[in-house]
């Protein structure tokens, strides 16, 4: 079993401080959609750089342009990227191919 910390309503410095407090107890850090909307993928990159031993999940909820979105999140260091189940099959296929 893996334990995931979901971060939605913090900025990058606050996220780093929070993860420092619980790092030894978690396996995955989720960078939530609100953070990515405000800070961009630099939030993913900052957490992955600060905590390279933790998995980083980019909760970007992909609906379309999936290959492009997965490529950007991957380049930022995301280990896990979310796509919506209601996305078209072609989007899901594009996300999987890029991954």
3-state secondary structure 66-99: HHHHHHHHHHCCCCEEEECCCCCHHHHHHHHHHC
Quick: pLDDT tens for 24-72: 999 999 999 999 999 999 999 999 999 999 999 999 999 999 999 999 9
Domains of the chain in start order, with CATH, are 4-98 (3.20.20.70)
**pLDDT value at residue 32:** 97
pTM for the whole structure? 0.93
**pLDDT value at residue 5:** 98
Q: What is the mean pLDDT of residues 73-99?
A: 94
Average pLDDT, the chain: 96
Confirm if 8 and 33 have CB atoms less than 8 A apart: yes
Confirm if 64 and 87 have CB atoms less than 8 A apart: yes
Q: What is the mean pLDDT of residues 8-20?
A: 96
Tokens at residue 35, please? 């953070």
Give the integer Cα–Cα distance in Å for 37 and 54: 22
DSSP conformation class of 52: T
**pLDDT value at residue 40:** 96
**pLDDT value at residue 50:** 98
DSSP secondary structure of 4-16: EEEE-S--HHHHH
């Amino acid at each position: 079993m893996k334990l995931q910390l979901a971060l939605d309503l913090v900025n990058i410095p606050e996220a780093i401080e929070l993860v420092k407090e619980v790092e030894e107890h978690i396996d995955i850090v989720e960078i939530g959609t609100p953070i990515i909307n405000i800070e961009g993928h630099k939030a993913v990159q900052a957490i992955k750089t600060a905590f390279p031993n933790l998995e980083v999940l980019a909760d970007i909820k992909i609906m379309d342009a999936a290959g492009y979105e997965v490529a950007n999140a991957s380049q930022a260091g995301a280990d896990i990227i979310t796509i919506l189940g209601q996305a078209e099959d072609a989007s899901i296929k594009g996300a999987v191919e890029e991954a």
